[in-house]
Amino acid sequence: MAATENTLILETTQGPVTIEMRPDLAPGHVARIKELVREGFYDGIVFHRVIDGFMAQTGCPQGTGMGGSGKKLKAEFNKEPHVRGTASMARAANPDSGDSQFFICFD
């Protein structure tokens, strides 16, 4: 994590990606991401799903998009739009299926 408590810096092969986490919008998700970062969970994990012009997804320890940390999170939806630069939890059809995977919107 970076200088501020809610700033996450991802070191990638393409350079750093800075994410300002929003505990005011998703306190449980932010707390879990911070916990996983402190544990080193994301170290060495790849972006397993990248769709040009749409998004990049990471957070699967197997690199397949099928794995996670094993702890499902209760959904925390809000009205903020998913615009370029937004980071959001990935999930399956079940709203409470978010875990460790998240994506970053391109456009």
Task: Write out pLDDT tens, residues 49-94.
Answer: 999 999 999 999 999 999 999 999 999 999 999 999 999 999 999 9
The residue-averaged pLDDT of 32-55 equals 96
Is 6 a member of any domain?
Answer: no
Long-range contacts of the stretch 9-13 (C-beta < 8 A, 24+): 10/42, 10/58, 12/47
* Burial zone of 94 (CB within 10 Å; 0-12 exposed, 13-18 middle, 19+ buried): exposed
Tell me if 51 sits within 8 A of 95, measured CB to CB. Answer: no
At residue 56, the 3 state secondary structure works out as strand
What are the φ/ψ torsions at residue 35 (nearest 5 degrees)? -60, -45
The CATH number of the domain where 64 resides is what? Answer: 2.40.100.10
Please report which confidence band the pLDDT of residue 1 belongs to, taking 50, 70 and 90 as the band edges.
very low
Q: Work out the mean pLDDT of the chain and round it to a whole number.
A: 94
Is 89 a member of any domain?
Answer: yes
- In the block, residue with structure tokens 């990471």: 58
Is 8 a member of any domain?
Answer: no
- What distance in Å separates the CA atoms of residue 103 and residue 88, rounded to the nearest whole number? 5
Range of the domain at 59: 23-105
Q: How many domains does the chain contain in total?
A: 1
User: What pLDDT shows up at residue 4?
Assistant: 85
Is 7 a member of any domain?
Answer: no
